[in-house]
Copies of this chain bind each other. A is one copy, B any other.
Amino acid sequence: MTDEFSKLALPSIPFLDCQRIVLCRPSHPGNIGAVARAMKTMGLVSGAQLYLVNPLCAIDEVAVRRASGAADLVTECRIVQSLAEALGGCTGAFGMTVRARELGPEPLQPKAAVAAAKDHWHQGGEGGALSAFVFGNETHGLTNEELQHCRAEVSISTNPDYGSLNLGAAVQIITYLLREASGNQSAVDSGATRYASLLATVDAVEGFYKQLETALIQSGFHDPNRPRRLMPKIRRIFERTRLESDEVNILRGIISALNAAQKVD
C-alpha cells in the first residue's frame, strides 16, 4: 500500500453499488431474469447496474418471471446500442471469456479481477470508481472487438470436458465473489463457535474428568495400573470442544446416572 493510497478517503458509496453487470447481445429472456436474480441476492440491487447491449430477444414476461423478486432490475435495466456506452463512467472493465485470446487483454482469475475491482473502487476516492463485468452472448461469447474494450479478461475455471456454464450461473459466481470482497458478512460470522452458556472453568472440567475416571475404574474398563493412555485420550476429545458450564453439568449427570445404576449391584 503506497502512502498516497493510504491517504485516500474511503469511498462513501458502497463497493457493491459501484459494480455493473453488462450483457452483450443476450438471446434468452430467461437468462436475463436469472442474471437479475443473481445480482440482487448478492446485493447488486439497482436496475442501473444491469446493462444490456443490443439484446437479441424481447425483455418479456419470461425474464420477469425468472427474475422472481428481482423483477425490478429487469424492468429498470439500461438497454444500450454499444459496449462503449455500457462502460461509460467505469474505470474497471473485465471481459468474461471461456479461454484467453491471443493478443487479448491481461488474463485474470475471477478472484484477482474482483480484487482489482476493489482496488479501483478504493482508489476512486470519495465517489468510488465503477467497474463493469462484461458477459458475451450465450452461444458465441464476446467478440474480439468487444474484448478489446475491456481492460482485463477473466475466465472461470470449468470442467475441461463440460464447460457449459449458464450465463446466470457465471454471473452468480462473479457476484458472489464481489459480495465476499465487499466485506459484508452474514450473521454466521468467521467460523467462530457460538456459545449457549459460559465456558466451563478449568476446575469444573477437571471435576468431570475425575468423576469419569472413578466411574471407569469401578466398571472395570479402566485399570490405573495399566492405563493405556486412556485418560489423556479422553481429555484430548473434550479439550478440543471447549466445554460450556451447562455441558459439563450434562456430562456429569450422564456419568452419575450410569454410575448410580452400577452401585446398585
Which residue numbers of A lie inside 8 Å of B, CB to CB?
A: 34, 37-38, 40-43, 45, 68-70, 99-100, 102-103, 106-109, 111-112, 153-159, 161-166, 168-169, 172-173, 176, 179-180, 183-191, 193-194, 196, 212, 215-216, 218-221, 230, 233-234, 236-238, 240-243, 246-247, 250-251, 253-255, 257-262, 264-265
Contact = CB atoms under 8 A, between A and B. Distances in A.
A201 to B, nearest CB: 17
A237 B247 contact: yes
Given A107-B188, A185-B157, A237-B251, A100 B257 contact: no
A109 to B, nearest CB: 6
B184 A157 contact: yes
Given A42-B158, A186-B157, A265 B254 contact: no
A69 B155 contact: no
Contacts of A247: 233, 236-237
B190 A109 contact: yes
B157 A183 contact: yes
Contacts of A221: 253-254, 257-258
B109 A188 contact: yes
Contacts of A168: 169
A112 to B, nearest CB: 4
Contacts of A242: 240
Contacts of A154: 188
Contacts of A179: 157-158
Nearest to A176: B173
Contacts of A236: 196, 247
Contact of A259 (B37, B41, B108, B258): B258
B254 A216 contact: yes
18 contacts: A37-B169, A38-B169, A42-B159, A99-B186, A103-B196, A107-B188, A107-B189, A107-B193, A109-B191, A154-B188, A156-B176, A157-B183, A158-B179, A219-B258, A220-B261, A233-B246, A241-B241, A258-B258
B161 A45 contact: yes
A135 to B, nearest CB: 15
A187 B153 CA distance: 12
A184 B246 CA distance: 40
